[in-house]
């Protein structure tokens, strides 16, 4: 049995939500100073029970949980917010101004996810509940919010979605990247750009990367998956070059008249070749962000531009 939690600092613990029964796919991060607790990310509603179990396994009573920060409102990051607000009605959910209305009323979000996931909607993401408006706190770029043991600074970081924040922990120097920091599995020298539709914006993403790079974080806490320390310049470079190279690849395929399924196959083959020398199983990357999503995001982006 792999562990549900992994302490990173005296006050910060990484939680493994074991999405789809797989380890190291979706993380949440827990702050606790012995009195109150905060979460960064909730994961999907389908793993809400695992999330609450892991919080308690880490020695934190649920009554202590007061604050929930979500990097953006996609279902794998904020899907459990409504479930948590129902079970722990005193929690406050901190969210981007553009995302807040969709947590309060997830109907549009669910309709668009339904088109993408169809019958898999329920098994993958669970039952999404609205977050009552009184539980929501809208936060903006530059705000600094006290959390147990530290202060989090809010960083506007569009590109993956318009409603995306990263959170910079001013005490530890750790950066909670959400999806703007890419998808990278523990121990693997490979970063996949999660270029999901419908708001992918390559220029905005690259500007966000320049900004996050300049922070000189002591480590990156990726939602998919885990803490990376060490050579962060390598991480940013690998993400940015692949974000651009895959974009160019999809654009060329579109120019040749390929349809989306054909582009998915071509990109998956390209990715398999990129992976061939790493000696690890790439399938966890596919669970975190599928080629369907990656290609759909790029295709929509290029069609908007043309």
Name the minimum Å distance from CB 174 to Zn ion. Answer: 18
Whose Cβ is closer to Zn ion: residue 179's or residue 199's? Answer: 179
- Rounded CA gap, 143 and 153, in Å? 6
Residue 207 CB, nearest approach to Zn ion (Å): 20
Q: Choose between 19 and 32: whose C-beta lies nearer to Zn ion.
A: 19
User: Considering the complex, what minimum distance in angstroms separates the CB of residue 125 from Zn ion?
Assistant: 12
Closer by beta carbon to Zn ion, 76 or else 240: 76
When the beta carbons of 32 and 291 are compared against Zn ion, the nearer one is 291
- In the complex, minimum distance from the CB of residue 223 to Zn ion, in angstroms, rounded to a whole number: 6
Q: Toward Zn ion, which CB reaches closer, 29 or 32?
A: 29
- SS3 for the chain, per residue? CCCCEEECCCCEEEEECCHHHCCCCCEEEEEECCCCEEEECCCCHHHHHHHHHHHHHCCCCHHHEEEEECCCCCHHHHCCHHHHHHHCCCCEEEECCCCHHHHHCCHHHHHHHHHHHHHHHHHHHCCCCCCCHHHEEECCCCCEEEECCEEEEEEECCCCCCCCEEEEECCCCEEEEECCCCECCCCCCCCECCCCCCCCCHHHHHHHHHHHHHCCCCEEEECCCEEECCCHHHHHHHHHHHHHHHHHHHHHHHHCCCCHHHHHHHHHHHHHHHHCCCCCCCHHHHHHCCHHHHHHHHHHHHHHHC
Contacts with Zn ion, residue ranges (CB under 5 A) = 76, 179
Task: CB nearer to Zn ion: give 51 or 266.
Answer: 51
- Closest separation between CB of residue 301 and Zn ion, Å? 17
The distance of closest approach from Cβ of residue 194 to Zn ion in the complex, given in angstroms and rounded to an integer, is 6
């Amino acid at each position: 049995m792999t562990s549900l939690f992994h302490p990173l600092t005296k006050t910060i613990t990484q939680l493994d939500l074991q999405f789809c029964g797989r380890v190291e796919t979706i993380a949440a991060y827990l702050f606790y100073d012995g009195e109150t607790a905060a979460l960064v990310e909730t994961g999907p509603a389908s793993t809400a029970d695992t999330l609450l179990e892991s919080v308690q396994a880490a020695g934190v009573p649920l009554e202590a949980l007061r604050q929930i920060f979500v990097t953006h409102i996609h279902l794998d990051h904020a899907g459990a917010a409504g479930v948590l607000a129902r079970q722990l009605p005193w929690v406050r959910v901190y969210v981007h101004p553009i995302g807040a209305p969709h947590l309060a009323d997830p109907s549009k979000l669910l309709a668009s996810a339904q088109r993408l996931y169809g019958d898999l909607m329920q098994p993958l993401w669970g039952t999404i509940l609205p977050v009552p408006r009184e539980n929501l706190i809208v936060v903006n770029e530059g705000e600094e919010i006290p959390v147990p043991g530290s202060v989090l600074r809010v960083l506007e970081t569009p590109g993956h979605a318009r409603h995306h924040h990263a959170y910079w922990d001013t005490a530890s120097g750790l950066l909670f990247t959400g999806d703007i920091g890419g998808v990278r599995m523990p121990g693997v020298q490979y970063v996949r750009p999660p270029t999901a539709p419908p708001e992918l914006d390559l220029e905005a993403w690259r500007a966000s990367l320049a900004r996050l790079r300049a922070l000189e974080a002591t480590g990156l806490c990726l939602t998919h998956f885990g803490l990376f320390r060490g050579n962060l310049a390598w991480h940013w470079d690998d993400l940015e070059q692949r974000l651009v190279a895959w974009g160019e690849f999809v654009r060329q395929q579109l120019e040749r008249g390929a349809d989306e399924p054909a582009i998915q196959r071509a990109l998956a083959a390209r990715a398999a070749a990129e992976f061939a020398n790493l000696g690890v199983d790439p399938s966890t990357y596919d669970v975190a962000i599928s080629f369907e999503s990656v290609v759909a995001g790029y295709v929509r982006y290029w069609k908007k531009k043309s």
